Amino acid sequence: MATPGYRIGLVGATGQVGKAFLKILEEGPREDLPIAELRLFASERSAGTMMTVLGEAHLVHLAAPDPHVFEGLDLVLTAIGDDLARAFGPAIAQSGAVNVDKSNAWRMDPDVPLVVPEVNPQAAASHHGIIAGPNCSTTQMVVALWPLHQVNPIRRVIVDTYQAVSGTGWRAVDELRSQNTAIAVGSTPEVEVYPHRIAENVIAEIGGLRDGGAYSEELKMIDETRKIMGEPALAIQATCVRVPVMVGHSEAIHVEFAHEMAPDEARAILSTAPGVVVIDDPRAHDYPTPLQAAGRDPVYVGRIRRDASHPRGLSMWVVADNVRKGAALNAIQVFELVARNGWFRGNRDARAPFGNRVAVSAR
């Protein structure tokens, strides 16, 4: 008799997001996602190695954008680069599995839903085999904004981010550690990952520079937020900054509403919102920090206060673990959403959108 549950694949199993995904699974069974089979994939560098997950040894298979490789699987997470994701997504969809992709490859494709389960779960129902997950900085922002938007429509958002080096990958984490060590012993830190030294510094540059002076990370936050919230004309401005923190993105968000909203009302709304924890007692120095958020699931919100520059404005401070909540957990939540609702039929009935083209890249 077959083991009940879902057959899950993970492409990029030995990478940063892949390991975070497996760590969440290791923490205990998830009621909406019983696992019958776990199949791990990686590049040639890691293929053939063994990984222990849930007490069982798993061979890491060589990943290839071939539908036959994924036959028999129900759900596949791809935590790989954009170019690879453009090849793997259609192959996974053609195999009959549902691909949840964490890259930038499919986010702005009109045929691909961009899903944060706390915000737009219904969008996942319209998939054709691929569901995109947003940028980690976008994820935590929309989780905090959506409950307020439901009560009092948001007209404008200005966000300044303070993003951890893990958002770049483990090479950046290692470089920050090595730079801190070099400074401590009086040596000259080596600079490779970023254009400037990140230790004891902040870098107002994330992604590639685009026309108009914005960087790609800032444009992602604008475009993805509009798509997820279903507000294509929402006014948003973002400034994204890299800071010398290992894990945990922080955001200063300034929101203009359609109507005046008191800080206490916003706290009450967010206190009952899914995926949100309010920590807001500045007199006791109690507000979210990235150290507090690291390794935890929620999006933390604090310092909710009136915006002195606008009568209908509020300002807030939003923090989350960018690797866990911003990527791995969001993917698991999408898996659970699809499984709970039985939204598997789209990938088998409508393969055409991915047959003859590549993904639409974001700005």
Q: Which residues are the active-site residues?
A: 136, 249
Closest of 68, 15, 67 to residue 41, by C-alpha:
15
Q: Reading across the β-sheet that carries 56-62, which strands appear in turn?
A: 50-53, 56-62, 35-42, 6-11, 75-78, 98-101, 130-132
In sign, the C-alpha dihedral spanning 107, 108, 112, 114 is positive
To which H or E segment does residue 15 belong? none
Q: Where are the beta strands (DSSP E) in 193-307?
A: 235-242, 249-257, 276-278, 299-306
Helix, strand, coil proportions of the chain in percent (round to 5)? 35, 25, 40
**Following CA atoms 281, 285, 287, 288 in sequence, which dihedral angle do they give, to the nearest 10 degrees?**
-160
Which phi and psi angles does 198 have, rounded to 5°? -95, -30
Q: Could you tell me if 267 and 148 are in contact, meaning their C-beta atoms sit under 8 angstroms apart?
A: no
Tokens 């453009």 belong to 86
Distance, in Å, from the CA atom of 55 to the CA atom of 309, rounded to the nearest integer, reads: 55
146 close to 266: Cβ distance less than 8 angstroms: no
Q: Phi first, then psi: what are they for 166, rounded to 5°?
A: -65, -20
Phi, psi torsion values for 141, nearest 5 degrees? -65, -45
